[in-house]
Structure 1
Amino acid sequence: MSTLSDPLNLSAPRGADAGLTPKQLVAKYGLTVSGRRPGLAQYIKDLWARRHFIVSFATARLVAQYSTAKLGQVWQVVTPLLNCIVYFLVFGLILGNKSIPNYVPWLCIGVFIFQFIQSAVQSGTRSISDNLGLIRALHFPRAALPIAFTIIQLQQLLISMVVLVGIVLASGIMPAVTWTLVVPTLLLLCLFNTGIALVMARIGAKTSDMAQLMPFILRTWMYLSGVFYSIEGNIKSWPRWIQIIADVNPASVYMDLIRFAFDPTDFNRGALPPHVWAIGIAWALVAFLLGFVYFWKAEEQYGRG
């Protein structure tokens, strides 16, 4: 065997190593396969050790994202507000949603929350394929990338939430104890988004066309999630199985939790059914845990081929 195909010259050991097979030499000197996937516990430990890199990377990308625009990071707030105006003109004025009190804040909450989900999924889908140079140049847990891009979207949402609070107050809704529920809801939503982003990152790394398909899938999901209309008021006469699917739709669940937190009247019901919180917690834990394991399973494949 030539030295080109065997750079460590394991096929011709000398001295004390004479007579040992390549496998025995590897075991003796503790050699490992380059890029080998670590165990799940070690992977989590490595990922935690790079938490500062993840946050710094996310912050740097967020700043660079709007560096060429004259308004800079103002677009983080302007974009969802413009979407709210368009949806209000169509669904609030032209089509009319008079059955929903405080429709403007109700609509803005739906737009802001779904945009958070949509952006996390889209950026997660491209997180591996758009950063192959970084992946091939440096050794780090690849899950850091979809997690970092989810943090970017969270930072944008937090800035938008300041404007959202202003819209809610301007609509005559006064602060209440239920506003504190916004924090745990956003934490659950972050876990859910991270899990979905990890799943889509693995799929997007192998199927580049997925990035082109995702906008259509997300647009359909948005129209079915009650962002600008009340689902309950439109599917009462539909088959029971359709109503169940609508009830467990994660986007609808998290929007309902935020809407109820800001406006406890919640469409004159006064309270959310207990199962809404249960569904929200279940979606967050299942999506995050399954998404993390699913992504980790293909760790050694990212950036190759």
Structure 2
Amino acid sequence: MADTAVADPYAGLTRAQLAQRYGLRVAGERPSLPEYARQLWGYRHFMTAYSNAKVASSFSTTQLGQIWQVLTPLTNAAVYYLIFGVILSQHRNVPNFIAYLCTGVFIFTFTQSAVLNGTSSITSNLGLIRALQFPRAALPITTTLIQLQQLLMSMIVLGGIILVTGEPLTIKWLLVAPSLVLQSIFNVGITMIMARLGSKITDLKQVMPFVLRTWMYGSGVLYSVTLFRQHLPGWAATLLESNPVLVYIELARYSLLESSQAHLSSSPTRLWVLGVGWAVLFGIGGFIYFWRGEEEYGRG
């Protein structure tokens, strides 16, 4: 009786062809950009709950609790007012310097804290990343949401400071909402960029405080931005006036402070155009840059 040969149905097929044939995918494979965005949207409730829990726990060991969300920027503003307002007499150059300064400090702190914490958002959550499968972009977004919650608390106090120092309550105050939305989108984008860089360069977090301090001095937080035109060449002044954080600070001042209208770095139209441009550029660019490194996070 002749032996009957059984043909191997997988003969000649590579592993990649077999995986494609049966719909198998590499574990941890980066999804397409639209699919990644869809997955991230599915985790929106997780990001909201996680940010709320982080805010609640961050001051749980202190006696004053979440009051420190307001006391910290207020203390910083008081120190800066003593140095720049009293000692260096910047209050002579800007009407209602207290409100001008506090607006700059509060708005800058929003971006500063998001960037600083976003730099370590991957490295400080390696246990979570290695234990669970989820879009890693949820971590830098959560960082921004935490800082946004703290800013909203601070804005209530800022509104009180502005009114007490003699500024009127006008319809323009409503414009602060879209300016904060634009700044939040910008913060998400730059936080994603810093999160990916921070996951590769672990010493980056040690350098960032110096970078952010320099950024603050170039953002017109502590003095009138009109000084740029008085002391710098035209091209340098234009470059500093296009600084994204300065743009968002100026938009907040334009919305809240009637006394500072003559001290804006640019026309309101130009500020809004720059604000939208920076938000779109960093929001989309930062998301794509972070997505391209999705397979790297948590390894090594």
Pairwise TM-score range, normalised by the shorter structure:
over 0.9
* Match of residue 182 from structure 1: 176
* Match of residue 36 from structure 2: 43
Equivalent position to 1:131, from 114, 117, 125: 125
Output aligned runs, 1:1-305, within 5 Å.
Answer: 17-19=9-11, 20-97=13-90, 98-268=92-262, 272-305=267-300
Task: Name the aligned partner's letter for residue 275 of structure 1.
Answer: R
5+ residue gaps, structure 2, are 1-5
4+ runs deviating over 6 angstroms: none
Distance in 2 between residues matched to 1:176 and 1:267, nearest whole Å: 14
SS in 1 for 2:295: helix
Q: What's the Cα RMSD here?
A: 1.6
Deviations 1:280-300 (A, max 9, x none): 110111011100000000101
Measure how far apart 1:269 and its partner are: 6.0
Measure how far apart 1:66 and its partner are: 0.8
- Cα pair 1:101 1:267 within 8 Å, conserved: no
5+ residue gaps, structure 1, are 1-13
Deviations 1:135-170 (A, max 9, x none): 000000000000001000000000011100110110
Normalised by the length of structure 1, the TM-score is 0.92
Measure how far apart 1:265 and its partner are: 3.8
Measure how far apart 1:224 and its partner are: 1.1
Measure how far apart 1:21 and its partner are: 3.9
Task: Name the aligned partner's letter for residue 140 of structure 2.
Answer: P
Task: Name the aligned partner's letter for residue 50 of structure 1.
Answer: Y
Identity of aligned residues (%): 49
Aligned length: 292
Normalised by the length of structure 2, the TM-score is 0.94
Measure how far apart 1:70 and its partner are: 1.1
Distance in 2 between residues matched to 1:147 and 1:15, nearest whole Å: 54
Task: Name the aligned partner's letter for residue 281 of structure 2.
Answer: V
SS in 1 for 2:63: coil
Task: Name the aligned partner's letter for residue 299 of structure 1.
Answer: E
SS in 1 for 2:224: coil
